[in-house]
Each structure stands twice: as C-alpha cells, then as structure tokens.
C-alpha cells in the first residue's frame, strides 16, 4: 500500500496528506477548490518549516514530503491507481454519502475507502458503496502531524483483513491506532462532546464565566485547554453537528445540544474559524474572553 488519496484540503485533509507524505507515501490531495488546495499546501509548508525550526526534520525531508504530494480538483482523476482513499470532507452526512458513491465508481476495485468522520456511521457510509467490506473509519486527531491517536472504526461489514491492514498502516505513520465499533460518536466524541456541552450548559446556567470554567478544568483536571476554548478550536458548528448525530443516534436527552450552542452557531459565532466564539480571536484581542453575558 503506497498510493494514497486524500479528499479535502482543509485542516484535517492537509494534515493527513502531510503525515502520509512525510512517511514517504505518494499522496494525491483532492479538493474541488484550487484555492483550498493552495491554502492546504501552504499550511503543510508552514508546518514543515516549524518542524525544521524545532530541529525535528531536515530541509531534505521537507523537500521530499512536498514532492510526494500531487494535487487534483477532480475525484475521478485523483483516485486512479490508488490503494487507499481517506475522505476528510466537511462533516456532512449527505456530502459524505455522495462522495463515497463516487469513490466506489471511480477508485480501483481493490482500494480501501476510509473516512475521517468524527461521528457519522461508517456502516451507513459503507452502504452507499458496493464494497462495504472495504470501508472503514480513520478518525485522526487535530493537529494531525502532532497527535498520536487514530481511532479506527470498523463498520458492520468491514472485513478483518481491512481492519488489520489499516491498523498496521497507522503504525507506519508513527500513530497509535485504537480499534472501536461503529456507534454514534465512536469513543472519542461520545465522551468529549457531552463534556464540552456540559461546560456550555454550566456557562448558560450562570454557574461561572468562561475564564472560570476553563481555569477549573485546566488547573483542577490537568486539561491542556479548557473545554470552552477547545470547543472554539474545534468549531462550534462542528460540535453542534456531532452532538446532533449522537443525540439522533441514541434519542437520549443527555446528548441534546445546549440552547446557547445552537444560538451561537445560528449567529455565526463559530470560534476560531469565524474570529469569535466564547473568546474573541480578532487581531487586537488575541483570544480574550468575549465581554458579554452568555445566557
């Protein structure tokens, strides 16, 4: 397995492409937007330069990594003669089903089709193809070049051989793969998202402010980042989407998104990506707590 296609040049996609390319795989980075591809390559270059400044890689490895990446704006062209596709498009079920149906038609018959989805059912994604036994989840963590974990999700029909292949492949990327079964939110987000949602509820109910909630969790629970800051970093829209998947999957009210989260997303306050969430990320503020009442 040497030829890898990555669908989506955004934060997760360019990170996944970076990691495969740095470990000497041939990578096809695919996005319908040339602008997104250019931005993705720029991000990979910046991250490689950061690794050079920390003396973790050489200039030669940077050059080799970038040379291992080819870019495409067509899925049909990008998935020819590949062994594995990793889909890292927007966390939208309809979009993913559409992409996997096309991948099934365009990718070689023996290719494994993986999704980086953080919550959507791998079994449902696989059902959009005629090769469900070759569909699997590879849930990388952000930032991909740094975080060690890869959550490997086997769908109802995923074969043992495909699971074993992807587990071993992940180890070749110097990652730690953990196999989990296909239930809403898997393991990572089934535990993480209710915690973030509860932090938002705590703010919404006026128990404490943004700074206070995050400080309690950082200093009291040794979390490197407070839950509200982490939600901003992930994207409040992404958090809402994942919570809705878990809530709709289990029909359990404990997973229902906090009304404050819903309102903030509707207002376009999505966190870092929009410049404001629970914190203000504008240039002159530098992640200060937003000066307003969250209730």
Active-site position among 116, 118, 197, 241: 118
Q: Is 249 annotated as a binding residue?
A: no
Active-site position among 139, 170, 197, 241: 139
Residue 189 catalytic?
yes
CA distance 148 to 188: 13
Token representation of residue 2: 């040497």
Token representation of residue 51: 């690794």
Token representation of residue 3: 């030829």
- Going by C-alpha positions, the residue among 258, 272, 246 that lies closest to residue 207 is 258
Q: Is 90 annotated as a binding residue?
A: no
Active-site position among 151, 170, 241, 276: 151
CA distance 171 to 179: 13
Q: Is 292 annotated as a binding residue?
A: no
Asked if the bond preceding 143 is cis, omega within 30° of 0, the reply is yes
Residue 151 catalytic?
yes
In three-state secondary structure terms, 108 is coil
Q: Is 142 annotated as a binding residue?
A: yes
What pairs with residue 276 in β-bridges?
A: 271, 280
CA distance 163 to 157: 11
H-assigned helices in 142-258: 160-172, 188-204, 210-215, 221, 227-234, 236-250
Q: Is 12 annotated as a binding residue?
A: yes
Four-point Cα dihedral 224, 229, 231, 236, nearest 10? -160
Q: Is 118 annotated as a binding residue?
A: yes
Look up residue 197 and give its DSSP letter: H
Q: Is 9 annotated as a binding residue?
A: yes
Q: Is 96 annotated as a binding residue?
A: yes
Q: Is 209 annotated as a binding residue?
A: no
Contacts of 55 (CB under 8 A, 6+ apart): none
Look up residue 128 and give its DSSP letter: T
Active-site position among 68, 116, 189, 241: 189
Residue 66's Cα: distance from chain center in Å?
21
Q: Is 282 annotated as a binding residue?
A: no
Residue 139 catalytic?
yes
Known binding-site positions for NAD(+): 8-13, 31, 91, 96, 118, 142, 273
* Catalytic positions: 118, 139, 151, 189
Known binding-site positions: 8-13, 31, 91, 96, 118, 142, 273
């Amino acid at each position: 397995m040497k030829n890898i296609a990555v669908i989506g040049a955004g934060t997760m996609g360019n990170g996944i492409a970076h990691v495969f390319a740095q470990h000497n795989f041939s990578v096809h980075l695919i996005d319908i937007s040339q602008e997104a591809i250019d931005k993705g390559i720029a991000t990979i270059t910046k991250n490689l330069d950061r690794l050079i400044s920390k003396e973790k890689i050489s200039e030669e490895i940077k050059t080799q990594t970038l040379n291992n990446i080819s870019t495409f704006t067509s899925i049909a062209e990008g998935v020819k003669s590949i062994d594995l596709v990793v889909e890292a498009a927007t966390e939208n079920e309809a979009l993913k089903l559409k992409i996997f149906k096309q991948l099934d038609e365009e990718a070689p018959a023996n290719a494994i089709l993986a999704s980086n989805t953080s919550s959507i059912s791998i079994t449902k994604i696989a059902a959009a193809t005629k090769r469900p036994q070759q569909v699997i989840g590879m849930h990388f963590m952000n930032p991909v070049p740094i975080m060690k974990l890869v959550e490997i999700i086997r769908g109802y029909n995923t074969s043992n051989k495909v699971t074993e292949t992807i587990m071993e492949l992940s180890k070749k990327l110097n990652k730690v793969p953990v196999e989990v079964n296909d239930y809403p939110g898997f393991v990572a987000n089934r535990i993480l998202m209710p915690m973030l949602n509860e932090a938002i509820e705590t703010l919404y109910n006026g128990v404490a402010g943004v700074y206070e909630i995050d400080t309690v969790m950082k200093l009291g629970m040794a979390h490197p980042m407070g839950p509200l800051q982490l939600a901003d970093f992930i994207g409040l829209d992404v958090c809402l989407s994942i919570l809705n998947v878990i809530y709709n999957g289990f029909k359990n009210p404990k997973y229902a998104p906090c009304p404050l989260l819903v309102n903030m997303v509707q207002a376009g306050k999505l966190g870092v990506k929009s410049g404001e969430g629970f914190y203000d990320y504008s240039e002159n503020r530098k992640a200060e707590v937003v000066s307003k009442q969250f209730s």
